[in-house]
């Protein structure tokens, strides 16, 4: 497991199954995603 300071105030790109193993437990309050299905509903997001 890596120290939390490596992840603070950063956007982390990678395979979530690998990255989440390195993030300390109880250190994430919010995860924001953009599901791929939103692209298929572009008329809804005008």
Q: Is 14 left (phi over 0), alpha (psi -120 to 50) or beta?
A: left
DSSP the chain: ---GGGTTT----S-HHHHHHHSPTT---------GGGGGGTTT--
Per-residue pLDDT, 44? 66
Sketch the domain layout of the chain as residue ranges. 4-41
Task: Give the Cα-Cα-Cα angle 29, 32, 23 (nearest 5 degrees).
Answer: 50
Q: What is the C-alpha separation between 43 and 9, in angstroms, rounded?
A: 33
Sequential pLDDT tens for the chain (46 residues)? 888 888 888 888 888 889 888 888 888 888 777 666 666 666 666 5
Per-residue pLDDT, 38? 63
């Amino acid at each position: 497991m890596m120290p939390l300071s490596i992840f603070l105030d950063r956007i982390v790109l990678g395979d979530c199954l690998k990255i989440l193993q390195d993030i300390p437990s109880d250190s994430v309050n919010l995860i924001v995603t953009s599901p791929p299905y939103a692209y298929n509903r572009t008329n809804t997001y005008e």
